[in-house]
Amino acid sequence: MAASEPTPSDKVVVLEVFRYRPEEDEEPFYQTYEVPYFEDWVVLDALNHIKNEIDGTLTFRWSCRMGVCGSCGMMVNGDPMLTCAAFIRDYYPATIRVEPLNYFPVIRDLVINMDDFLDKLTDVQTWLVPKEEKPVSEGEYLQTPVELAKYKQFSMCINCMLCYSACPVYGQHPEFIGPAALALAQRYNLDSRDGGADERAEVMFSHEGIWECTFVGDCSRVCPKNVDPAGAIQQAKVTATKDWYRSVLLPLGKKKGKDA
């Protein structure tokens, strides 16, 4: 949002924005808007200025405007960014091209269909499956700081999907479970309270899971929360491989989905 006392300025920044109205357009097009330049504005501020003052039909998602909700992800000059974290001053005076997140179907303007991502979060069971069910009366599940540290980084995901927009594997193979879902699955696999690794493995360790990843690493490069999904996936590959050899060499032993 604008500073509390915006200084009138003759400086202007040009935004080239992807438009698509399904009810009237066969093809998308780019619309150019001139937005006043403010030192402290982010791209989201510019989009809201456009919507409020210039063109109320422009459609886009946003919420917290401070980088924690994951709603405002878009392509800014070809890079997946949270538009609330993309500062105009970093691009000015160049034209800023704003497009919907790559590799997702476009519903309207800058809004993409994220159903595929949400389905995959469910497929790979990104929730705690307690090792031991116990009633509330028996108290909390206890966890030491050392145990917490093991999965904490992967728990920082805000589901913004920038990683999916950076991943050329997802772009070419939409059946790929994808970086965030796999990182979150690994987050729960590493959680000491969790006992769901075996169940997750059916999807997580399938061809569409970790094994589709070729470690391009762009997912980790664009992640605004430093989750490092690429790291999570490679570590999962090691676990899956150890499990596989164990099941092949010791077939009568207990099959484990989690490794210490």
Partner 1 sequence: MARSNEPIFWSLFSAGGVVAAFFFPITILISAFAVSCNWISAEGLHELAGRPLARLYIFVLISLPLFHWAHRFRYVALDLGFKGLKGVLPFICYGAALLGTGLAAFILGWG
Partner 2 sequence: MTDGVTKTKEYIRPMPTNWWLKRKSYFMFMVRELTCLFVCGYAIFLLMLASRLGDLDAFTALLKDPIVIALQVIALPMVVYHTVTWLNLTPKVLVIWRGENRVNPLLIAAAHYLAWFAVSAVILWIVSMYR
Task: List residues binding partner 1 (CB under 8 A).
Answer: 123, 168, 172, 201-203, 205-209, 211, 214, 237, 240-241, 243-245
Contact of 197 with 257, CB cutoff 8 Å? yes
Distance of closest approach, residue 124 Cβ to partner 2, in angstroms? 17
Contact of 209 with 203, CB cutoff 8 Å? yes
Distance of closest approach, residue 204 Cβ to partner 2, in angstroms? 17
87 bridge partner residues: 42
C-beta of 102 vs 126, nearer to partner 2: 102
User: What Å distances lie between residue 113 and 60, 81, 173, 183, CA to CA?
Assistant: 12, 17, 17, 21
How buried is residue 37: exposed, middle or buried, by Cβ count under 10 Å (0-12/13-18/19+)? middle
C-beta of 11 vs 255, nearer to partner 1: 255
In the complex, which residues of this chain contact partner 2 (CB under 8 A)? Answer: 20, 22-23, 27-28, 78, 102-103, 105-108, 113, 115, 119, 145-146, 148-150, 168, 171-172, 214-218, 221, 228, 230-231, 234-235, 237-238
C-beta of 144 vs 214, nearer to partner 1: 214
Rounded CA-CA distance 35/24 in Å is 26
Question: Which of the choices partner 2, partner 1, none does residue 102 contact, using the CB cut-off of 5 to 8 A by kind?
Answer: partner 2
Question: Which of the choices partner 1, partner 2, none does residue 191 contact, using the CB cut-off of 5 to 8 A by kind?
Answer: none
Question: Which of the choices partner 1, partner 2, none does residue 201 contact, using the CB cut-off of 5 to 8 A by kind?
Answer: partner 1
Question: Which of the choices partner 2, partner 1, none does residue 244 contact, using the CB cut-off of 5 to 8 A by kind?
Answer: partner 1
User: What Å distances lie between residue 107 and 115, 118, 218, 249, CA to CA?
Assistant: 11, 16, 25, 50
User: What Å distances lie between residue 215 and 134, 179, 184, CA to CA?
Assistant: 39, 10, 17
Residue 253 CB neighbour total at 10 angstroms: 9
Question: Which of the choices partner 2, partner 1, none does residue 36 contact, using the CB cut-off of 5 to 8 A by kind?
Answer: none
Distance of closest approach, residue 214 Cβ to partner 1, in angstroms? 5
β-sheet with 79-82: strand ranges across: 29-36, 12-19, 96-99, 73-76, 79-82
Distance of closest approach, residue 199 Cβ to partner 1, in angstroms? 11
